[in-house]
Amino acid sequence: MTTNTHTHNIGQVAQYRPEFINHHQATAIFGLSRSHLYQLVQSGKIKSVSLRERNKIKGKRLFIADSIREFLTANIQEGCFSL
């Protein structure tokens, strides 16, 4: 039996608590849309890194999972959610 290594099993992702996640994983784990994630990065509320070759525009954006957890936890405790 062969498996697709690009398919993400949410149970596995949550079990390992990765340090960095892409927007597909962030959406699956935290329920935040891609555009919402980018808005939160722009406003400085969560952190991300961009992996790309020098002098290239396109790359891979990875979100720091703990920054998303901290943001959500803080907003749950305050009872509000703002961008």
Higher per-residue confidence, 1 vs 14 = 14
Domains of the chain with CATH codes:
11-78 (1.10.1660)
Q: What's residue 11's pLDDT?
A: 55
pLDDT in tens, 15-45: 668 899 999 999 999 999 999 999 999 999 9
Q: What is the Cα–Cα distance from 67 to 18, expressed in whole angstroms?
A: 12
To which H or E segment does residue 49 belong? strand 48-51
Q: What is the Cα–Cα distance from 70 to 58, expressed in whole angstroms?
A: 28
Residues 60, 33, 30, 65: what is their CA dihedral angle, to the nearest 10 degrees? Answer: 30
pTM (two decimals): 0.73
